[in-house]
Amino acid sequence: MTAAPPPPVDPAHAGRYPAGGHAFAHRDLLGLAGLPPHELLFLLDEAEQWVDLNRQRHKRADLLSGLTIINAFFENSTRTLLSFEIAGKRLGADVVNMHAATSSVKKGETLIDTALTLNAMRADAIVIRHASSGAVRLIADKVDCPVLNAGDGQHEHPTQGLLDALTIRRTFRERGERGEPFCGLKVVICGDVLHSRVARSNIHALTTLGAQVRVCAPPSLMPAEIEQLKVTPYHDFDAALAGADVVMMLRLQLERMQGEFVPSPREYRHLYGLTLDRLARAAPGAIVMHPGPMNRGIEIDSDVADLTGDVNAARSLITTQVEMGVAMRMACLDVLTRRARGVEGWQ
């Protein structure tokens, strides 16, 4: 048997990716686990044009004109829902938001029936957030269009992982570091790792791209399966911070905690809160990130969250993450609808 020939190379990306649909060979975006480096880098590169567009006064492209995108959010959200809505609208799609609080879900409709209903409306892409890990895949299996996971339980939040990677890459490139800055980058992810889908997606993306990821949490908030991921676990935040280039803080997800996971917010801050003093242990010029919403004064102090600095100094990139979120979601919506739009090479 002869091996299949390698896919042709796309000259538009200087040969960095396979051409057309081979650059991202999936119908859905359910998670970042298992995606190869070239697929992650392809999505990051695609987002760059949208960062540029979003900084113009006229922020509109009509790539998705005539397409309907449904944002089906079964769990509350401010920034992710708004970000997907703005992303779809800037690409010219008709965007409809379904809030679980006012939908038939409250009347007892099963997830599968909701999926079949959304499908019958002939959406061209469905963006789903759900409190249960795996619920988004369940819906994806029942519908005919691409599905984007906007966060499912404690499983994954792939567009957050991508937008964080984009934020990191742009920052280190701005400092004049050439090429892909992930190789050997020391990233600390600290906080409620157990309940965090953001942590999981970031771990998959950053380790795949070559970063050294340290995960720090109190023993009660460290997932048992952490040993299986390519990260170094810490319980001592000061030790984890030593020489770190990126410090990513996570929210204490009190709504997902039944019982006592942390002694008290005060004690939690004492051991795991990011203060200015603590940040001094990281590398000079370290960047601070947080996916939001923040508990100021618990996992992060306001003087760190609001730290502005020149490009080479230690600083907070929390609002930059929000900006990158819109561009990243535009890229994902564009790429996942290419097949349906008949884009050359993607049919």
Nearer Cβ to ligand NCD (23/217): 217
Check residue 79 for interaction with ligand NCD (CB under 6 A). Answer: yes
User: What whole-number distance in Å separates Cα of residue 73 and Cα of residue 71?
Assistant: 6
Residue 148 · residue 137 · CB < 8 Å: no
Which long-range contacts link 46-52 to residues 24+ away (Cβ below 8 Å)?
46/331, 46/334, 46/335, 47/162, 47/163, 47/166, 47/324, 47/327, 47/328, 47/330, 47/331, 48/327, 50/87, 50/90, 50/326, 50/327, 50/328, 50/330, 50/331, 51/166, 51/170, 51/323, 51/324, 51/327
Can you tell me which of 88, 146, 153, 291 binds ligand NCD, judged by CB under 6 A?
291
Check residue 80 for interaction with ligand NCD (CB under 6 A). Answer: yes
Q: How far is the CB of 137 from ligand NCD (least distance, A)?
A: 17
Check residue 132 for interaction with ligand NCD (CB under 6 A). Answer: no
Is 157 considered catalytic here? yes
In the chain, the amino acid numbered 150 is A
Check residue 157 for interaction with ligand NCD (CB under 6 A). Answer: yes
Residue 250 · residue 196 · CB < 8 Å: yes
Angle, in degrees to the nearest 10, between helices 318-336 and 158-174: 120
Site string for ligand NCD, 292-311 (x = CB under 6 A): x-------------------
Check residue 160 for interaction with ligand NCD (CB under 6 A). Answer: yes
User: What whole-number distance in Å separates Cα of residue 94 and Cα of residue 77?
Assistant: 20
Check residue 197 for interaction with ligand NCD (CB under 6 A). Answer: yes
Q: How far is the CB of 202 from ligand NCD (least distance, A)?
A: 11
Nearer Cβ to ligand NCD (142/256): 256
Q: How far is the CB of 212 from ligand NCD (least distance, A)?
A: 23
Number of residues in contact with ligand NCD under rule CB under 6 A: 11
57, 58, 107, 178: the active-site residue: 107
22, 90, 129, 200: the active-site residue: 129
Instruction: State which residue has the least CB distance to ligand NCD.
Output: 251
User: What whole-number distance in Å separates Cα of residue 208 and Cα of residue 38?
Assistant: 10
Is 106 considered catalytic here? no
Retrieve residue 174's tokens.
Answer: 């701005």
Residue 314 · residue 279 · CB < 8 Å: yes
Can you tell me which of 151, 181, 223, 273 binds ligand NCD, judged by CB under 6 A?
151
Where along the sequence are the contacts to ligand NCD (CB under 6 A)? 79-80, 151, 157, 160, 197-198, 251, 253, 291-292
Q: Which positions are catalytic?
A: 79-80, 107, 129, 157
